[in-house]
Amino acid sequence: MNNNYTGKKAVVTGGTHGMGLAVAKALLAGGAEVIVSGRNPKNAEEAKRELGERAHVVVSDVSSMKDVQAFGEYVEKHFGKIDFLHVNAGTSILEPFLEVNEETYDRIFEVNTKGAFFTVQRLAPLIHEGGSIVFTSSVADEGGYPGMSVYSASKAALRSLASSFAVELLDKGIRVNVVSPGFIDTPSMGVAGFTDAERVTFQELGDKVTPMKRHGSSEEVAKAVLFLAFDATFTTGSRLAVDGGIGQNLHSL
């Protein structure tokens, strides 16, 4: 895989921690210029320290249409055109469907689906011909998982959006793909509000149910994202699972 991104300009939403941060680090290591966004000011400050002076770090909430437009203006002002957009910002709240309230439902869809849609709508016109978009979805974007009804639906909708975008951007030479991670070692294990103890329990569950009997790393997801972004030049509208086999109907003895 080509790890030389010299001269490339990339944008990563949800890039201040976890998988998005790993993608940003890999891009910078390869020589790219990078703008990352995240809604948490503390995470943004930590990301600035980790990524260094070459990275632009912007506090922006994808669920806010005002923020999405302002972020688009920032990207256009500082980069003009871009080569790669990684739509990674997302949130997850795990609850049985009988306990989900309207606020939780709306928040998940505002971030995972609506925010992703309008981020692409704003930034797609800035992508060079031959550029690409990669969405971070989830292994839960198909099938059924307890406590994930709303989250799974939001990610399934995201996959559907990605397919439509892939078709509509064909004439512009822009590829659109999806990476669907399973249990990944991130600060929150992908679930908002986890305590340290809950995170450990969730991680242990993931190691048990994943056929490869371990959780993945953010760096492993980043490799898949960047493969789709730059190397997979004859691939669009596809979904790449990075899940240790959990979503592939594999059954270990």
Residue range 128-142, pLDDT digits in tens: 999 999 999 999 999
Tokens (6 digits) for 52 = 């260094």
pLDDT tens per residue across span 12-21:
999 999 999 9
- Reduced to 3 states (helix: H, G, I; strand: E, B; else coil), residue 217 is strand
Q: What is the DSSP letter of 98?
A: G
Tallying the residues shown for the chain, one arrives at 253
**Which parts of the chain register pLDDT below 70?**
186-195, 198-199, 202, 251-253
> What does pTM read for this prediction?
0.92
* Phi-psi region at 207: left, alpha or beta (left = phi > 0; alpha = psi -120 to 50): alpha
Q: Which CATH class is domain 9-242?
A: alpha beta
Integer-rounded Cα radius of gyration of the chain: 17
- Reduced to 3 states (helix: H, G, I; strand: E, B; else coil), residue 13 is strand
Report the C-alpha gap between 75 and 82 in whole angstroms. Answer: 8
Virtual torsion, Cα 202, 195, 135, 163, nearest 10 deg: 60
Question: How many alpha carbons fall within 13 Å on the CB side of residue 215?
Answer: 17
Q: In which residue are the tokens 């971070």 written?
A: 136
Q: What is the pLDDT of residue 232?
A: 98
Judged on CB neighbours under 10 Å (0-12, 13-18, 19+), 207 is: middle
Q: What are the residue numbers of the active site?
A: 151
Q: What is the pLDDT of residue 187?
A: 66
Q: What is the pLDDT of residue 69?
A: 98
